[in-house]
Amino acid sequence: MILIEILPDKCDFCGCCVGVCPEDAIELKEAEIRIIEELCTNCAKCVWCCPFEVLKFNKEAASAKREKI
Amino acid sequence: MKDQYDIVVVGAGPAGSMAARFAAEKGVSVLLLEKDRDVGYPVRCAEAVVSAGLEEFISPDKKWIASEINKFSLFAPDNTEVVLEFPFTGFVLERRIFDYELAKQAASFGTDVLTRAYVNGLLFDGNKVCGVKFEHRGEQKQVKAKVVIAADGVESRVGRWAGLKTHVDFREMESCAQVTISNINVKADTCYFYFGKDVSPNGYLWVFPKGDSTANVGLGVSGLVGKNRSALSYLNEFLETNFPGAPVLTSIAGGVPCSITLEKISAPGIMLVGDAARQVNPISGGGIISGMRGGRIAGRIAAESILSNKPDHIFSYDKEWHEKVGKKHEASNRLKEGVFNFSDEKLNNLAHSFLKVPMEKRTLGNLCRTALINQPSLLFDIAKVFFV
């Protein structure tokens, strides 16, 4: 389950997130971005490196997941 | 476009175009693929270069030079301004025209160019890369190549598909935000740098003029800083304080890998150049000239390997890059770690010392010397940077 949320309307498609993703889990085209669900480990490095606050760590989903467990 | 080339270059930035040009010049067939619809746009760059480096590749031309720089103005955290003569000529470029010219240069040597070509996979012959898969205007295609040169920028994935470790440590990724603003008062011959933890922690904020009323204003923060506060938020605060209400002509994000070059930049059938290879000067964050140098070396070696039918010759690229440029980047990376950890107090003291030096003697070298005389403890910092 991906706990990272992308707000594509804010995105400038610069590629910082792709560069720091250790899992090659982000796909970026000219003006399209998506997280590849099967590869993402929710490490959040993409969130920390986004200059424009496009990626967010979804805290609610994270705590919901924790409760489930 | 043919279905087979000697060399396919992925990415038409300065590094990719130079790789294509220096390969094509040797007489091999080259295809240059660009994912965006335009070469040179969008610009993700502060656009400053040193003229001498550039002239190795192209004669300066007014149509892609926005400003000629001969002064630096450094602002300490307490706003003390130190102006010094820049010992070289610098340019602030119009990258959208500049990149175009470089791609044209590659084309003039016979390179085929295709835009809107998004590379999404590699072709393999055993463990050797032998071409790329790409999407072009909604159609999935492929093209074979004896050597693939990946110049796909900070967001590079091509190298990873070939098994190279290319991801950037988040602490070394400078996440940058930049605006081009107008109706402001800047000197067209001066590049301005602002230091301090409130303005730009662990780096600098730049104001690079494009003429006397327009400038690129931007900064980068490492992932460590970005965890708590984004580059955009720092930039907006600076703009509100220093250039309130200035019209914003462009606003961009971008990533600069401020690290040393990747340990391996070639593998069977593939070479990496430019930001994709992390060929950026880590202290300045400048990557145009070094990327072009990487492209030149890679393009030439790729062509030699094809013409002599020695596929393993491409591995000599790693060594040649390291000797010519890479090891300088390693020294500047050590210096970066020292300088960008200076406290605000230390930076202020430095600026105050610099101001005592008469203007005509304010060269970069003299400033380092003065800094050492006025604050001998700095020597330990520099020594730490180089020897520890």
E strands in chain B: 4-10, 30-33, 48-50, 65-75, 81-93, 112-114, 117-125, 128-136, 139-150, 173-181, 190-196, 200-209, 215-222, 248-257, 266-267, 270-272
Q: Cα-flanking dihedrals φ and ψ of residue A28, to 5°?
A: -130, 125
Token readout for B44 is: 């993700």
Report the C-alpha gap between B327 and B332 in whole angstroms.
Answer: 9
Cβ contacts of B18 within 8 Å, gap of 6 or more: B57, B102, B106, B273, B291, B292, B293, B295, B296, B299
**Secondary structure of residue B139 in the 3-state scheme:** strand
- Encode B335-344: b = buried (16+ Cβ within 10 Å), e = exposed: ebebbbebeb
Q: Hey, which residues 23-62 in chain A have their CB within 8 Å of chain B?
A: 24, 28-30, 45, 48-53
Chain B residue whose CA is closest to A44: B227
Tell me whether B36 touches chain A (CB under 8 Å). Answer: yes
Q: At what angle do helices B95-108 and B14-24 cross, to 10 degrees?
A: 20
The residues with which B121 forms a beta bridge, in sequence order, are B133
Q: What is the pLDDT of residue B284?
A: 87
ipTM given for this complex: 0.91
The minimal CB distance from B168 to the residues A19, A50, A53 is found for A19
Report the C-alpha gap between A16 and A4 in whole angstroms.
Answer: 15
Closest to B15 measured CA to CA, from B150, B173, B172:
B150
CATH of A4-68 among 3.10.310.30, 3.30.230.30, 3.30.70.20, 3.40.830.10: 3.30.70.20
Report the C-alpha gap between B158 and B273 in whole angstroms.
Answer: 11
Chain A residue whose CA is closest to B218: A51
Tell me whether A6 touches chain B (CB under 8 Å). Answer: no
The minimal CB distance from A52 to the residues B116, B156, B253 is found for B253
Q: What is the pLDDT of residue B6?
A: 98
Domain boundaries of chain B, sorted by first residue: 4-44+96-169+261-329, 70-87+170-257, 338-387
Domain boundaries of chain A, sorted by first residue: 4-68
Question: Cβ contact (<8 Å) for A15 and B168?
Answer: no
Question: Cβ contact (<8 Å) for B230 and A12?
Answer: no
Query: Which DSSP helix (H) or strand (E) runs through B298?
Result: helix B288-307
Is the domain covering B4-44+96-169+261-329 a CATH 3.50.50.60 domain?
A: yes
In chain A, residues with a C-beta closer than 8 Å to the C-beta of B118 are: 29-30
Evaluate whether B4-44+96-169+261-329 and B70-87+170-257 have a shared fold. no
Report the C-alpha gap between B175 and B253 in whole angstroms.
Answer: 8
Cβ contacts of A38 within 8 Å, gap of 6 or more: none
Token readout for B114 is: 């295709």
Closest to B216 measured CA to CA, from B191, B245, B195:
B191
Q: What is the pLDDT of residue B388?
A: 43
The residues with which B21 forms a beta bridge, in sequence order, are none
Q: What is the pLDDT of residue B364?
A: 65
What tens-digit pLDDT sequence spans chain B (388 residues)? 899 999 999 999 999 999 999 999 999 999 999 999 999 999 999 999 999 999 999 999 999 999 999 999 999 999 999 888 887 899 999 999 999 999 999 999 999 999 999 999 999 999 999 999 999 999 999 999 999 999 999 999 999 999 999 999 999 999 999 999 999 999 999 999 999 999 999 889 999 999 989 999 999 999 999 999 999 999 999 999 999 999 999 999 999 999 999 999 999 999 999 999 999 999 889 999 999 999 999 999 999 999 999 999 999 999 999 999 999 999 888 878 777 778 899 889 888 887 887 877 776 666 666 666 656 666 565 555 445 4
Report the C-alpha gap between B261 and B327 in whole angstroms.
Answer: 9
The minimal CB distance from A52 to the residues B36, B177, B224 is found for B177
Q: What is the pLDDT of residue B361?
A: 74
Chain A residue whose CA is closest to B275: A19
Q: What is the pLDDT of residue B355?
A: 85
CB atoms within 10 A of CB B51: 14
Question: Cβ contact (<8 Å) for A24 and B160?
Answer: yes
Q: What is the pLDDT of residue A62?
A: 73
What is the number of CB-based contacts under 8 A between chain A and chain B? 93
- The DSSP secondary-structure symbol of A34 reads E
Residue recorded with tokens 């094809």: B306
User: What's CA B119's distance to the chain center, in Å?
Assistant: 22
Q: Hey, which residues 224-243 in chain B have their CB within 8 Å of chain A?
A: 224, 226-227, 230-233
The minimal CB distance from B155 to the residues A18, A48, A50 is found for A18
Q: What is the pLDDT of residue B116?
A: 96
CB atoms within 10 A of CB B92: 23
Assigned CATH for B70-87+170-257: 3.30.9.10
Average pLDDT for chain A: 90
